Amino acid sequence: MTNEFSNSENLFPAYNQHEVVEKLETGFKKLNDKFINLLEENQRIKQHNKNLQEENQDILRINLELNEKNQEISRNNLESNKKYQEISRNNSNLIRINNDLKVKLQARDKQIEKLQNDLNLEKQKNKEIQRLEVISQNLEKNLKILEVDEIDINTINVFKENNEQTNCNINKNPTTALNYSKGLDDIRIVVGLDFGVTYSGFAYCHVIDENMHTNDNWPWGVTGQFRTNTVLRYDDEFNNVLYWGARALKNRKQNSEPVKLFNLYLGDLPDNLKPKLPIDYKKAITDYLREIGMFIKEKICHLDGFDYFEDVLLVLTIPAEYSEMDKVIMRQCVYNADLIKDRDSEKLQFTTESKATALNCTFMFVDCGKYTTNLTTRKLVRNDPLHIDKVTVQIRDFYGSRLINEEFIKFLRERLGTCTIDLLKENNYEGLQYMVKKFYRRITRSFTGDDKKFNYELDILYEAPILLRHVSEEIKEIMGEIIEIKYNDIKKMFDPIVDRIIRLIHIQLLNNKENCSTIFLTGDFCVSKYLQNRIKEEFSHQVNNISVPALPEVAVVRGAVIYGLSTILYGTEFDGLKLVISSRLLKFTYGIQYNWKSSDDLTHNGKNCKFKTLVKRDTEITPDQTFSFNFKPGSKQISESFAIYYTQKYNIWYCDEPGVKRLGILNIDLSDVQLDSRSINFGLTFGQYEIIASARNERNRQEHMATFCYPDDDF
């Protein structure tokens, strides 16, 4: 024990004990401080944890509220979807109801229009009946006078008084037919308006000096052209006309196409050949007539104090195939365009394009336009005053000079690529149209077909520099060179339409019952030297005179003015009052020779001459009643001849039977062999003074017509 104590004393010497205690005390304090710090830190952590728990509780509460709101939004969306579906169904029903109402409204408008047209026709009929009654009363008076045995000077004076009274009654009666002796006596200016499918123009003449003026000065600085484009450009809503004529083809905006070819909705054109229009065709016709009408008024009425509605006679040229309904529609459009004061005003006269041309050229035979080709034969009966007989033979073909423009664009596509021309059309439509028009104008007047070295140089870089921004380097190299259009290239563009016109002239000459003394060429395409030379080369041995008016493109509009002057100066009524026969019985059976292709034995004496009856003897017919049938040509057949026969027999089987006589032949063109399922509608129309044989191609609407006199015993 003593040893242990002594050892401890050795471990902590007396002089070190105090120091050890201090160190222990210091270490204890440090540990105590750390412990306190840990306690404080622990307290802070607990507080922080508590705060986090509170925040977490807030977040949970917010999430719960958001979930509730999200569920509420989902419920609202579901209800909104249900309401939207209900609205969509209601909207669909409204659209359907609106479409039904629109259809019914259109049908009602057509019915109202028909009723209005019927009313107008009834009014016209009543006017003519009243006029006939006045004439009839005068005839009765004169016939009673003729019953006396002797006629002295007093009797003659009574005749004169009756005639003067008749004229007075006709003139004073506001419900009679068109008044040529009074209402037109005050006319001071005659305006002829050629309202064409692609181009329009007008001419005018002062009645006093009969000096013809053909307009060649148009708005917007366009001069030297007798006609301007029949084109309109509207605003985005197609309510207001922005530009008309040549100006409408300029400043072309993307997705904005000019409105054109609206005249094709009048006449017997099939729907598949009519253009698609963004507006009603009657609105387009009215708007164009209003625009050109304002220009005409400004042109002719700014001098000498003319009153348009009182002093001007407007003669509007229309195609010969326009029906009475087409004329009524055109008159309504003219009235809506503010060109006549009253819808039935006699200061608007219609004349057919062929008749107007005939008045300017004696008679017209071939009219070649941009979209149609018309061949018409008219007979000059007397020339004091000038009188043109009815159309004797006619062909109408929807084939025109526009095909040359299409072939030219096709040539450019082959040389520059389809994409290049599409880019030019999209970015510089005006430039493309100008280039095509420039080519057509120069080629038609300079290309004769005689010079095999003839060519046309086209500087595409000069004509359309905008293309450089859109084409490849290869195309740029081609554009940098002059494109040479050679003789064979140009001939290839012309020959299809020229060959077709020549073929139609051959058929027209075959259908003529008399020798044709003169062929006159009119229309835009007839300025072509190549067409003129080909026609002269082909027909100079058959026709003594083949001539072109000095200005073939304005022959129609000048003829319209002459028509109006003849009406005023000579009292000529080209479409005057006619005797109408309500019905009559035919004294002959009429039919055609029908060449059957079946294996049945339908020959007679070795000949295939089956008689196909169209109408039998003793049939009661009304004026202009037609009897027709459909004919299916062979797949490779390019022409057909319809031989018309008549006989007193009631039943007939063959054309060479005794008593069967031939009335005439109608030859038709069937060169469109590329069309499938061709059908020809052939018919005989029994008019008041003649029988009209007609054939219409139901696929392309090409028409052939010839007139024949009634057999002597059936007239």
The answer to whether position 162 is within a domain reads no
Q: Are residues 291 and 348 in the same domain?
A: yes
Residue 575 has pLDDT above 60, yes or no: no
Higher per-residue confidence, 549 vs 573: 549
CATH number, domain of 622, equals: 2.60.34.10
pLDDT of amino acid 447? 92
177-227 pLDDT tens trace: 334 434 566 788 889 998 888 889 998 888 877 677 888 888 877 777 888
- pLDDT score at 171: 45
Burial class (CB in 10 A: 0-12, 13-18, 19+), 370: buried
Does 346 lie in the same domain as 277?
Answer: yes
Give the end of a domain, one of 93, 124, 155. Answer: 124
Residue ranges making up the domain that contains 76: 16-124
What's the CA gap between 656 and 572, in Å, rounded? 46
602 and 664, same domain (yes or no): yes
pLDDT at 461 over 70: yes
Quick one: pLDDT band at residue 382, thresholds 50, 70, 90? very low
pLDDT of 501 = 92
Q: What is the pLDDT of residues 284-307, one digit of tens each?
A: 999 999 999 999 988 887 666 678
Residue pair 395/422 in contact by the 8 Å Cβ criterion: no
Question: Could you tell me if 619 and 688 lie in one domain?
Answer: yes
Cβ pair 709, 690 in contact under 8 A: yes
Token digits of residue 19: 């120091």
Same domain, 237 and 352: yes
- The arithmetic mean of pLDDT across residues 36-44, rounded, is 88
The rounded distance, in Å, linking the Cα atoms of 227 and 238 is 25
Average pLDDT over residues 231-257: 81
347 and 219 within one domain? yes
Which of 204-208, 572-576, 604-608 is least confident? Answer: 572-576
What angle do the packed helices 14-146 and 324-336 form, to 10 degrees? Answer: 120
CA distance 355 to 88: 59
**Residue 668 token pair:** 């038709």
* Domain-terminating residue out of 487, 516, 537: 487
pLDDT tens per residue, range 661-700: 999 999 998 887 777 778 899 999 998 778 999 999 888 8
pLDDT of residue 645: 94
What pLDDT does 481 receive? 72
Q: How confident is the model at residue 555 (pLDDT cuts 50, 70, 90)?
A: low
Last residue of a domain, one of 471, 487, 503: 487
Residue 398: the pLDDT is: 80
Higher pLDDT, 570 or 380: 380
pTM comes to 0.49
If one counts the domains in the chain, the total is: 4
Q: Are residues 339 and 422 in the same domain?
A: no
Q: Nearest 5°: phi and psi at 611?
A: -95, 120
Q: Does residue 694 form part of some domain?
A: yes
pLDDT per position as a tens digit, 77-102: 888 888 888 888 888 888 888 888 87
Specify if 576 maps to a domain: no
Pair 680, 640: CB distance under 8 Å: yes
Asked if residue 688 and residue 621 are part of one domain, the reply reads yes
325: domain CATH number is: 3.30.420.40
The average pLDDT across 450-472 equals 79
In a domain, 375, yes or no: no
Looking at the fold, whether 324 and 417 belong to one and the same domain comes out as no
**Nearest one of 185, 190, 157, 159 to 171, comparing CA atoms:** 185
Cα distance between residue 554 and residue 533, in whole Å: 21
Q: What pLDDT score was predicted for residue 162?
A: 47
In terms of domains, do 226 and 326 share one?
yes
Q: Work out the pLDDT band at 576, boundaries 50, 70, 90.
A: very low
* SS3 state at 238: coil
Residues 205, 345 within the same domain: yes
**CB 691 within 8 Å of CB 663:** yes
Phi, psi of 429 (to 5 degrees): -60, -40
Indicate whether 604 and 699 sit together in one domain: yes
Assess if residue 167 is contained within a domain: no
Burial class (CB in 10 A: 0-12, 13-18, 19+), 108: exposed
